[in-house]
Amino acid sequence: MDISDDQLAADLGGCERAHARLLTDLEELADDDIRQASLLPGWTVGHVLNHLRRNAEGFTVMVRAASRGEVGRQYPSAEARDEGIERGADASAEELVGWLRRSIEELVDTWSTLTSEQWANGRGVTLRGEAPVRELPWRRWREVEVHHADLGLGYRSDDWPDDYVRRELPAFERVWKSRRPMGLTDLPDAVLALSPQRRLAWMFGRLEVDGAPAADVYG
Protein backbone atom coordinates (compact mmCIF):
# COMPACT_ATOMS: atom_id res chain seq x y z
CA MET A 1 0.00 0.00 0.00
CA ASP A 2 1.50 3.30 -1.13
CA ILE A 3 0.56 5.97 1.40
CA SER A 4 1.26 9.59 0.52
CA ASP A 5 2.05 12.26 3.09
CA ASP A 6 -1.48 13.64 2.69
CA GLN A 7 -2.99 10.19 3.23
CA LEU A 8 -0.83 9.60 6.29
CA ALA A 9 -2.06 12.88 7.76
CA ALA A 10 -5.66 11.88 6.99
CA ASP A 11 -5.15 8.47 8.60
CA LEU A 12 -3.68 10.03 11.74
CA GLY A 13 -6.63 12.44 11.90
CA GLY A 14 -9.18 9.69 11.34
CA CYS A 15 -7.59 7.57 14.03
CA GLU A 16 -7.60 10.49 16.47
CA ARG A 17 -11.31 11.08 15.91
CA ALA A 18 -12.08 7.37 16.25
CA HIS A 19 -10.23 7.25 19.56
CA ALA A 20 -12.13 10.29 20.79
CA ARG A 21 -15.52 8.76 19.87
CA LEU A 22 -14.62 5.51 21.58
CA LEU A 23 -13.44 7.08 24.82
CA THR A 24 -16.47 9.40 24.94
CA ASP A 25 -18.79 6.40 24.63
CA LEU A 26 -16.99 4.67 27.49
CA GLU A 27 -17.31 7.51 30.00
CA GLU A 28 -20.36 6.03 31.72
CA LEU A 29 -19.33 2.38 31.42
CA ALA A 30 -20.26 0.29 34.46
CA ASP A 31 -18.79 -2.94 35.80
CA ASP A 32 -21.92 -4.84 34.73
CA ASP A 33 -21.34 -3.67 31.15
CA ILE A 34 -17.87 -5.21 31.15
CA ARG A 35 -19.26 -8.68 31.73
CA GLN A 36 -21.89 -8.48 28.99
CA ALA A 37 -21.38 -10.50 25.84
CA SER A 38 -20.02 -8.42 22.98
CA LEU A 39 -21.00 -9.01 19.36
CA LEU A 40 -17.87 -11.18 18.91
CA PRO A 41 -18.48 -14.85 19.75
CA GLY A 42 -16.84 -15.84 23.02
CA TRP A 43 -15.75 -12.32 23.93
CA THR A 44 -17.23 -10.05 26.56
CA VAL A 45 -17.13 -6.26 26.37
CA GLY A 46 -14.09 -6.54 28.63
CA HIS A 47 -12.30 -8.75 26.12
CA VAL A 48 -12.88 -6.26 23.29
CA LEU A 49 -11.66 -3.33 25.38
CA ASN A 50 -8.59 -5.24 26.52
CA HIS A 51 -7.86 -6.21 22.92
CA LEU A 52 -8.03 -2.56 21.85
CA ARG A 53 -5.63 -1.72 24.66
CA ARG A 54 -3.17 -4.52 23.80
CA ASN A 55 -3.36 -3.64 20.11
CA ALA A 56 -2.35 -0.06 20.88
CA GLU A 57 0.47 -1.25 23.12
CA GLY A 58 1.75 -3.51 20.35
CA PHE A 59 1.65 -0.70 17.83
CA THR A 60 3.62 1.44 20.28
CA VAL A 61 6.28 -1.28 20.49
CA MET A 62 6.66 -1.24 16.69
CA VAL A 63 6.76 2.55 16.44
CA ARG A 64 9.32 2.90 19.25
CA ALA A 65 11.50 0.31 17.57
CA ALA A 66 11.27 2.22 14.28
CA SER A 67 12.38 5.38 16.07
CA ARG A 68 15.56 3.49 17.01
CA GLY A 69 16.07 2.15 13.50
CA GLU A 70 14.93 -1.33 14.55
CA VAL A 71 12.10 -3.66 13.51
CA GLY A 72 9.76 -4.38 16.41
CA ARG A 73 7.16 -7.10 16.87
CA GLN A 74 3.61 -6.16 17.79
CA TYR A 75 3.23 -9.40 19.76
CA PRO A 76 5.84 -12.02 20.70
CA SER A 77 3.48 -14.72 19.40
CA ALA A 78 -0.17 -15.46 18.69
CA GLU A 79 -0.34 -17.23 22.05
CA ALA A 80 1.03 -14.16 23.82
CA ARG A 81 -1.56 -11.99 22.09
CA ASP A 82 -4.42 -14.23 23.21
CA GLU A 83 -3.08 -14.51 26.75
CA GLY A 84 -2.72 -10.73 26.97
CA ILE A 85 -6.35 -10.23 25.96
CA GLU A 86 -7.54 -12.70 28.59
CA ARG A 87 -5.36 -11.19 31.32
CA GLY A 88 -7.34 -8.27 32.66
CA ALA A 89 -10.49 -8.72 30.60
CA ASP A 90 -12.48 -9.18 33.82
CA ALA A 91 -11.09 -6.07 35.52
CA SER A 92 -13.34 -3.22 36.57
CA ALA A 93 -14.72 -0.74 34.07
CA GLU A 94 -12.59 2.01 35.60
CA GLU A 95 -9.43 -0.05 35.24
CA LEU A 96 -10.11 -1.20 31.68
CA VAL A 97 -11.01 2.26 30.41
CA GLY A 98 -8.01 3.74 32.23
CA TRP A 99 -5.65 1.20 30.69
CA LEU A 100 -7.13 1.79 27.25
CA ARG A 101 -6.87 5.56 27.58
CA ARG A 102 -3.21 5.36 28.63
CA SER A 103 -2.36 2.97 25.80
CA ILE A 104 -3.90 5.42 23.31
CA GLU A 105 -2.02 8.37 24.80
CA GLU A 106 1.26 6.47 24.63
CA LEU A 107 0.67 5.47 21.01
CA VAL A 108 -0.18 9.01 19.93
CA ASP A 109 2.82 10.41 21.82
CA THR A 110 5.10 7.85 20.18
CA TRP A 111 3.80 8.64 16.69
CA SER A 112 4.75 12.27 17.28
CA THR A 113 8.42 11.31 17.81
CA LEU A 114 8.96 9.86 14.32
CA THR A 115 10.87 11.82 11.72
CA SER A 116 9.81 11.92 8.08
CA GLU A 117 12.56 9.41 7.28
CA GLN A 118 11.39 7.04 10.01
CA TRP A 119 7.81 7.26 8.77
CA ALA A 120 9.05 6.49 5.26
CA ASN A 121 11.40 3.62 6.07
CA GLY A 122 10.25 2.13 9.38
CA ARG A 123 9.00 -1.45 9.46
CA GLY A 124 7.24 -3.57 12.05
CA VAL A 125 6.07 -7.17 12.32
CA THR A 126 2.45 -8.04 13.04
CA LEU A 127 0.99 -11.53 13.30
CA ARG A 128 0.10 -11.20 9.60
CA GLY A 129 3.68 -10.40 8.64
CA GLU A 130 5.91 -7.39 8.10
CA ALA A 131 4.24 -4.01 7.64
CA PRO A 132 5.46 -0.46 6.98
CA VAL A 133 5.13 1.80 10.00
CA ARG A 134 3.47 4.25 7.62
CA GLU A 135 0.46 1.86 7.48
CA LEU A 136 -0.02 1.64 11.23
CA PRO A 137 -2.25 4.71 11.70
CA TRP A 138 -4.58 3.32 9.04
CA ARG A 139 -4.56 -0.14 10.61
CA ARG A 140 -5.26 1.32 14.04
CA TRP A 141 -8.12 3.44 12.66
CA ARG A 142 -9.69 0.29 11.23
CA GLU A 143 -9.20 -1.57 14.51
CA VAL A 144 -10.93 1.11 16.53
CA GLU A 145 -13.89 1.61 14.18
CA VAL A 146 -14.64 -2.10 13.79
CA HIS A 147 -14.22 -3.08 17.44
CA HIS A 148 -16.10 0.00 18.68
CA ALA A 149 -19.11 -1.46 16.87
CA ASP A 150 -18.26 -4.96 18.15
CA LEU A 151 -18.77 -3.77 21.73
CA GLY A 152 -22.53 -3.76 21.15
CA LEU A 153 -22.97 -0.69 23.34
CA GLY A 154 -24.79 1.54 20.85
CA TYR A 155 -22.17 2.42 18.25
CA ARG A 156 -22.91 0.40 15.09
CA SER A 157 -21.42 -0.16 11.68
CA ASP A 158 -24.09 2.27 10.42
CA ASP A 159 -22.23 4.91 12.44
CA TRP A 160 -18.88 4.37 10.73
CA PRO A 161 -17.82 7.75 9.31
CA ASP A 162 -17.92 8.27 5.57
CA ASP A 163 -14.20 9.04 5.30
CA TYR A 164 -13.36 5.71 6.93
CA VAL A 165 -15.73 3.76 4.67
CA ARG A 166 -14.45 5.51 1.52
CA ARG A 167 -10.91 4.55 2.55
CA GLU A 168 -11.73 0.91 3.31
CA LEU A 169 -14.50 -0.32 1.03
CA PRO A 170 -12.85 -0.15 -2.43
CA ALA A 171 -9.95 -2.36 -1.33
CA PHE A 172 -12.34 -4.92 0.16
CA GLU A 173 -14.37 -4.96 -3.03
CA ARG A 174 -11.22 -5.55 -5.08
CA VAL A 175 -10.26 -8.50 -2.88
CA TRP A 176 -13.77 -9.93 -3.10
CA LYS A 177 -13.77 -9.70 -6.90
CA SER A 178 -10.29 -11.20 -7.18
CA ARG A 179 -11.57 -14.35 -5.48
CA ARG A 180 -14.46 -14.90 -7.86
CA PRO A 181 -14.34 -16.96 -11.06
CA MET A 182 -13.48 -14.97 -14.17
CA GLY A 183 -16.50 -13.03 -15.37
CA LEU A 184 -18.36 -13.23 -12.03
CA THR A 185 -17.07 -10.03 -10.53
CA ASP A 186 -20.23 -8.12 -9.65
CA LEU A 187 -21.29 -7.98 -6.03
CA PRO A 188 -24.62 -9.68 -5.29
CA ASP A 189 -27.59 -7.41 -5.97
CA ALA A 190 -28.66 -7.68 -2.34
CA VAL A 191 -25.25 -6.33 -1.27
CA LEU A 192 -25.21 -3.56 -3.88
CA ALA A 193 -28.55 -2.36 -2.52
CA LEU A 194 -26.99 -1.74 0.90
CA SER A 195 -25.51 1.51 2.17
CA PRO A 196 -21.70 1.66 1.90
CA GLN A 197 -21.48 1.20 5.69
CA ARG A 198 -23.57 -1.97 5.59
CA ARG A 199 -21.75 -3.26 2.54
CA LEU A 200 -18.50 -2.91 4.45
CA ALA A 201 -20.00 -4.62 7.50
CA TRP A 202 -20.90 -7.56 5.23
CA MET A 203 -17.33 -7.62 3.95
CA PHE A 204 -16.08 -7.83 7.53
CA GLY A 205 -18.45 -10.69 8.32
CA ARG A 206 -20.40 -8.47 10.72
CA LEU A 207 -23.64 -8.54 8.72
CA GLU A 208 -25.63 -11.35 7.16
CA VAL A 209 -27.47 -10.45 3.97
CA ASP A 210 -30.43 -12.40 2.67
CA GLY A 211 -29.65 -13.67 -0.80
CA ALA A 212 -25.89 -13.33 -0.43
CA PRO A 213 -23.31 -15.78 0.93
CA ALA A 214 -20.72 -14.76 3.47
CA ALA A 215 -18.15 -12.42 1.91
CA ASP A 216 -15.14 -14.40 3.18
CA VAL A 217 -12.81 -11.44 2.66
CA TYR A 218 -11.42 -10.47 6.05
CA GLY A 219 -10.01 -12.87 8.59
Mark 92-107 as b/e (b = at least 16 C-beta within 10 Å): ebebbbebbbebbebb
Q: What is the pLDDT, as a whole number, of residue 178?
A: 82
* Partner residues linked to 175 by β-bridges: none
Q: What is the pLDDT, as a whole number, of residue 215?
A: 86
Q: What is the pLDDT, as a whole number, of residue 183?
A: 54
Quote the CA–CA distance of 10 and 102 in Å, as a whole number.
Answer: 23
Instruction: Out of 3.90.1170.50, 1.20.120.450, 3.40.50.970, 3.40.50.720, select the CATH number for domain 5-155.
Output: 1.20.120.450
Q: What is the pLDDT, as a whole number, of residue 176?
A: 87
Residue ranges per structural domain of the chain: 5-155, 163-203
pLDDT tens digits for the chain (219 residues)?
689 999 999 999 999 999 999 999 999 999 999 999 999 999 999 999 999 999 999 999 999 999 999 999 999 998 999 999 999 999 999 999 999 999 999 999 999 999 999 999 999 999 989 999 999 999 999 999 999 999 999 999 999 999 999 999 999 998 888 877 665 578 889 999 999 999 999 999 999 999 888 887 866
DSSP E strands: which ranges in 163-205? none
Q: What is the pLDDT, as a whole number, of residue 169?
A: 95
In which element (H, E) is residue 129 found?
A: strand 129-132
Alpha carbon separation from 154 to 71, 135, 148, 178, 197 (Å, rounded): 38, 29, 9, 34, 16
Q: What is the pLDDT, as a whole number, of residue 1?
A: 65
Q: What is the pLDDT, as a whole number, of residue 130?
A: 93
